[in-house]
Amino acid sequence: MQSANTVPYDAIVIGASAGGLDALGIFLPILDVRLPVPILIVQHISATSDSFIITYFDRLCKLKVKEAEEKEILKPGHVYFAPPDYHLLVESDKSISLSNEEKVNYSRPSIDVLFETASWAFGNRLIGIILTGANWDGAAGCELIRKSGGMVIVQDPKTASIARMPESVIERLNPDYVLPLKEIGHLINKIFFLTPTR
């Protein structure tokens, strides 16, 4: 694995909506246990959802999966899901902030809120990934990530359960990569010069 000062990015943010749990179930287990950055995820879910998805993905993945907590400092190799009915934000000190302010793009949590605050915190050292979904949440956030010099990866709309969210990003900007889910996972491992563990 690369030393800390040669790791090319500092964090990964992911947005998913309709069909997202199935997509994440394919993508997340591919990621190497040695991944040297935190991953933050907004999955559009019901405000009354329980902790099932955290338990499910923690068992499924090599990385540690948990629900994001207020003022928590981000740790490498951890996957943080936005809690139901809370926006997930990244502060300038790389800590987590949660907010129940008004919905953005009809959503709380909102992908744009995560992507935009993470872009402000990490600048050109951020990777943003948009997966399947039925609306345009995340498109503005991806645009800011690109303007800040970060990388944007989009699930190939032809492979998405609902193509609209990936398409909305592609219509707004030219992503660095448009790939099927498994290829996105392998690309992330390759970016960090990791070889898959058995």
Active-site residue, selected from the candidate residues 10, 32, 112, 137 = 137
Q: Is 78 labeled as catalytic in the residue annotation? A: no
CA distance 116 to 158: 26
Active-site residue, selected from the candidate residues 10, 17, 87, 168 = 17
Q: Is 137 labeled as catalytic in the residue annotation? A: yes
DSSP, residue by residue, 26-47: HHGGGS-TT--S-EEEEE---T
pLDDT, tens digit (0-9, with 9 covering 90-100), for 74-99 = 999 999 999 999 999 999 999 999 99
CA distance 79 to 175: 23
DSSP, residue by residue, 76-89: TTEEEEPPTT-EEE
pLDDT, tens digit (0-9, with 9 covering 90-100), for 101-142 = 998 888 899 999 999 999 999 999 999 999 999 999 999 999
| pTM beyond 0.85 | yes
| Domain 9-191, CATH class in plain words | alpha beta
Active-site residue, selected from the candidate residues 10, 32, 44, 119 = 44
Domain boundaries defined on the chain: 9-191
Q: Is 87 labeled as catalytic in the residue annotation? A: no
- The 177-179 sheet, strands edge to edge: 64-67, 78-81, 39-43, 11-16, 126-130, 151-155, 177-179
Tokens read off for 187: 């690309």
